[in-house]
Amino acid sequence: MFRSITNWRLKTPFYYGWLVLAISAVATFAASGLTQVVLGGVQVYITDESGWDEGSLAFAASLGTWMSGMLAPLIGKLADRFGPRWLMPFGLIVAGISFFVIAGSNSVFQFYGGYVIGRAVSNPVLVGLVPRTAAVNFFRQRRNMALALVSTFRPISGAINIQIISLIASHQGWRAAYRYLGFLSFILILPVVLFVRRRPEDIGLLPDGASPAGASVGSVRPQAITPEFSWTAKEALRTRAFWLLLTITALGTLASSATGFSLVPFLVQDAGLSTAAAAGVLSLGTFLAVANMFWGYLADKITPRRSLMLMMVGAGGMMAFLLSVDSVGSALIFAVIWGIFSGGLGSLENMVLAEYFGRGSYGTILGFFSPLQMIALGLGPGLASTVRALAGDFYILYFAMGVLYFISAVLMYIAKPPPLPVRESAEAELPGD
């Protein structure tokens, strides 16, 4: 009976992979309450009520992010082996408990206990690594678009959550907002177990919706599926391209993280905007990561590599513009353009990684890819706070972050696809393909 329950699949008029991604999106929404962009957007409410300083919250964000990077290699291996169906419920349980601990914290140390552990687990399991591994497993012809879609989950969820927590905080307090997120996390466990699957082969399908017999699912017209070469993690780590990609995303992540975390304080203290207006600007910039769908389309036209170079150049140019922002109008212009460019990093880096190394060990490879990236993500808030304390403003920070974006573009030009490894014929078989 248990096997019949676990093997049950909902019959859908569309390709089942889209349902998997939809449920992943809702899980990401719940977990986005533990992302640093949301903490950065609502930190004023927390500090005003608790008396804790901004630096303490910044370090909590950094520590949680670093710990998530340390867990990523393990989570990546588990994602390849077990998939999202069993990993996501675990992540939702941890996130739910963490939200209630945060809501009930009477000291900054209690806040750390809830936030750091919750972020460490939820970031790879519910936000980044596991949903992206699911997208790579369920899609091939439409992989770039699927990865682009998955990469919009966190920023869109974050933008919405900033507003929700701010609204609830203004009426019931920020603690109530986190309790609501805790209830949502627990409610989502059941639909994940019921509907999410590891790979399309587990339910008699192939990537993009073709059945083994060649029948189409929904509106998807099956195409000839040629074997996809997949690198092992060991092979990928031996290539120059892997390490260049790691460096590129670490630099881009550091720049985006420092800018996003510092944007609200900068707009309030240096540009003269109200807290509500500044939070709205950050939400808009974060929400415009929906433009990742454009990056998915562009990647299909000019390759993910060239798209990533363009993204870095555009984001770097907007850092120069940020230095001149002094009004709501100019802040909104920055938010729109910077949001479109910087928001593309999360999707394009994963498109390049999947294009270069395939899906067979994607979770494991991405897991090894994550620690330095998470270190960079965690450094952003602390770097922003330190620069502010030493220089008195954020202008030096934004100039330096612009330089990092341009360096990343140059490195991406160098990071061309690696030649396929030489294997014995028996070893060339693709696991699962």
pLDDT, tens digit (0-9, with 9 covering 90-100), for 168-195: 888 888 899 899 999 999 999 999 998 8
Mean pLDDT score of the chain: 85
End-to-end CA distance of the chain: 29
Distance between CA atoms of 32 and 382, rounded to whole angstroms? 20
- Domains of the chain in start order, with CATH, are 8-205+229-416 (1.20.1250.20)
3-state SS, one letter per residue, for the chain: CHHHHHHCCCCCCCCHHHHHHHHHHHHHHHHHHHCHHHHHHHHHHHHHHHCCCHHHHHHHHHHHHHHHHHHHHHHHHHHHHHCHHHHHHHHHHHHHHHHHHHHCCCCHHHHHHHHHHHHHHHHHHHHCHHHHHHHHHHCCCCHHHHHHHHHHHHHHHHHHHHHHHHHHHHHCCHHHHHHHHHHHHHHCHHHHHHHCCCCHHHHCCCHHHCCCCCCCECCECCCCCCCCCCCCHHHHHCCHHHHHHHHHHHHHHHHHHHHHHHHHHHHHHCCCCCHHHHHHHHHHHHHHHHHHHHHHHHHHHHCHHHHHHHHHHHHHHHHHHHCCCCCHHHHHHHHHHHHHHHCCHHHHHHHHHHHHHCCCCHHHHHHHHHHHHHHHHHHHHHHHHHHHHHHCCCHHHHHHHHHHHHHHHHHHHHCCCCCCCCCCHHHHCCCCC
Per cent of the chain over pLDDT 90 is 36
Q: For 309-320, what is the mean pLDDT?
A: 94
pLDDT of residue 316: 93
Please report which confidence band the pLDDT of residue 369 belongs to, taking 50, 70 and 90 as the band edges.
Answer: confident
Q: Angle 84-103/16-31 helices, nearest 10 degrees?
A: 20
Tens of pLDDT along 372-398? Answer: 887 787 788 788 888 888 888 888 999
Residue 264 has pLDDT above 80, yes or no: yes
Handedness of CA 267, 284, 184, 7 (dihedral sign): negative
Most confident of 36-45, 208-217, 353-362: 353-362
pLDDT band at 286 (very low <50, low <70, confident <90, very high): low
Q: 162: pLDDT confidence band, cut at 50, 70 and 90?
A: confident
- Kindly report, residue by residue over 407-431, the tens digit of the pLDDT: 999 999 999 999 988 765 544 444 4
Tell me what pLDDT residue 335 has: 86
Rounded Cα distance between 76 and 224, Å, is 29
